[in-house]
Amino acid sequence: MTLFDPDGGSAAHSRVRATVAYDGTGFAGFAVQKDGPPTVGGTLAGAIERVLGHAIDLTCAGRTDAGVHAWGQVVSFDADPSRLDIHGLERGVNKLLRPAISIRDVRVVDESFDARFSAKSRLYRYTILNQETPSPFLAATSWWVDRPLDLAAMRLGCDPLIGEHDFSSLCRRPGPDATLVRRVIDARWEVVDAAGSCCLEFWIEANAFCHQMVRSIVGTLVDVGLGRTKAGEVAGIMRSLDRSGAGNVAPSHGLCLWRVRY
């Protein structure tokens, strides 16, 4: 199967945008890999190629880590218009990949659209099950913390996150020259009832995220909730640019890419 080359033939290409939900359990992250364990991107691209009948180059809005879920991941790719049936593509891919991966919406868009570079912000949700007993219904999508958490303190700990900052203390540095400056638009905690259980949901929106940034923030704020760290110390942890001052990285399965704004 050869890659469809929009510049290699007489027919114009169609730029396709799809909103995708997936259970990240069992996948080694999103990024397409030629070798190794299955990834969401590789599995999704394979199904799209099977339905279209030609290879594609898949771009995503956010390359989620191993075990991380998504409700509103966005991907884009070019398709041969002579082989593209939007409704057939959605039905075919969902039939092949259900229930772990699902295309929620698919449409043809302007050729200038790029799932990654056209995005203005990403919204993530992290779910904590905060009660004495675990829940088999939430085990795959939440972090069970059995000790009571001080929600008021955790909310105060969100304040220093808002705005543009260097998040070196709260993420994994990919290389010595990489910039870790990001602009956080909103960060908040909400209390919800899920499957009859008490859950705390951390919502954070930013123009972009560093590797393990959300999970590092959650781990640090849980330390605040447990009284190991004071809410007023979060700003100092960020200013130190020292990863050792932050909390442990929260488990991946509590994290979900909820929405991408364009």
Cα distance between residue 54 and residue 18, in whole Å: 17
Can you read off the two tokens belonging to residue 85?
Answer: 């049936």
Q: Is the dihedral of CA 158, 208, 23, 17 positive or negative?
A: positive
CA distances from 114 to 132, 191, 202, 206, 243 (A): 45, 35, 28, 18, 32
Catalytic residue from among 23, 57, 65, 166 = 65
Catalytic annotation present for 5: no
Cα distance between residue 39 and residue 31, in whole Å: 6
Cα distance between residue 260 and residue 205, in whole Å: 9
Cα distance between residue 223 and residue 204, in whole Å: 18
Nearest to 217 by CA among 254, 258, 178: 254
Nearest to 189 by CA among 131, 244, 227, 149: 149
Active site residues: 65
